A and B are shown apart, each in its own frame.
Chain A
Amino acid sequence: MANVLIVDDSSTMRKIISRSLRQAGLAVDDIFEAGDGIEGLNSLTGNKVDLILSDINMPNMDGLEFIKQVRANGNKVPIVMITTEGGEDILREAMNNGASDSIKKPFTPEQLNEKLGGLL
């Protein structure tokens, strides 16, 4: 079973993602939540996290900076962007910063399962 960190400024979206992970039947144990990149970095301190699901467009510290900071700290945990952003350049920047994959909002539990099944 894996621990997942969800980083999204929308509490509604965090709940939807959390519920979708369970509905998709993925092997998820604890789910941690953070409202922006700064809270996300704090959540990684002291918690064992096996997968990060992060939005891009967030206040205080956006998803692109967040993943850069995670990698700068030497953390190799898989990071999947879950975002309304679908542009090639911005997703390429996310990949260059260390993201493993991306999922476009809106999404279905089946799409989550398809993308995340191999990571959990």
Chain B
Amino acid sequence: MTLNMAVSQSANLQEEDLRGYVIHATKEVFGTMVMMDVQDCFPLREPVTKFQCSITGMVGLAGTYTGILSIHCPRPLALCITSNMLGMVVDEVGEDVNDALGEIANMLGGYVKQVLSKGGLDISLSIPTVISGEEYTINAMTDSDCVIIPFTHENDRFLVGLKLSKEN
């Protein structure tokens, strides 16, 4: 998985830089809003498309650059994240969990937008979308993700992915 050349040249960013921003953003969001220390792992070489008993939060970027920022969490970790954010025990997947994962995706998308945007009006962030289920597949209609980073918290693992392309 490599960063799209047009994005790299236009934004004057290397893949390592973008990866660093995503790692920094994820650690800051989790440290500040979820009260959870997370550790990044070596980025994946292949995109992950099939998920089981998971929840995926996504926001789209549109404008000078288009793309999707996504976070994929196994259910038990999503419940833990939501419980921490709300300051109460959440033990079933529902509106609260969907909203929490969507908001995390939104904050991460905001970071990416700030890195890429000149002033904030040239790129729009979508309202978050959340997918959950026993088994589901997510397929992008263009080339593979440019960055997908696993993070761990204790024995749990989740993924943050960013796919970007430059609009002509």
Known: A12-B82, A12-B103, A106-B29. A86 touches B120 (CB 8 A): yes
Q: Does B40 contact A (CB under 8 A)?
A: no
A16 touches B127 (CB 8 A): no
Q: A12-B85, A12-B96, A106-B28 known; A88 and B103 CB under 8 Å?
A: no
Taking CB atoms, residues of chain A closer than 8 Å to B32 are 106-108
Q: Considering the complex, which residues of chain A in the window 11-47 have a beta carbon less than 8 Å from any beta carbon of chain B?
A: 11-13, 15-16, 19
Residues of B near A105 (CB, < 8 A) are 33, 107, 110
Interface size of B by CB at 8 A reads 28
- For residue A87, CB closer than 8 A to chain B, the reply is yes
Q: Is A57 at the interface (CB under 8 A from chain B)?
A: yes
With both beta carbons as reference points, the residue of chain A lying nearest to B115 in the complex is identified as A86
Inter-subunit contact B96/A86 (CB<8 Å) = no
The dominant DSSP class at the B interface is helix
Q: CB-CB < 8 A to B110: which residues of A?
A: 83-86, 105
Whether A87 and B106, one on each chain, are in contact in the complex, defined by CB atoms closer than 8 angstroms, is: no
Query: Which residues of chain B are near A59, meaning CB under 8 Å?
Result: 127
Mark out the residues of chain B between 90 and 123 whose CB falls within 8 Å of any chain A CB in the assembled complex. 95-96, 99-100, 102-103, 106-107, 109-111, 113-114, 117-121
Does the CB pair B82–A86 fall under 8 Å? no
Decide: A106 and B86 in contact? CB cutoff 8 A: no
Q: Considering residues B111, B120, B127, which has the most beta carbons from chain A within 10 angstroms of its beta carbon?
A: B120
Asked if A10 and B28 sit within 8 Å, CB to CB, the answer is: no
Residue of B87, B121, B125 near A84 (CB, 8 A) is B125
List of A residues within 8 angstroms of B86 by Cβ = 12, 15-16
A-B contact pairs, 7 of them (CB 8 A): A9-B127, A12-B82, A84-B107, A87-B114, A89-B118, A90-B119, A108-B32
A positions within 8 Å CB-CB of B: 9-13, 15-16, 19, 57-59, 83-91, 93, 105-108
**7 nearest interchain CB pairs?**
A87-B120, A84-B110, A89-B119, A90-B120, A106-B32, A10-B103, A86-B114
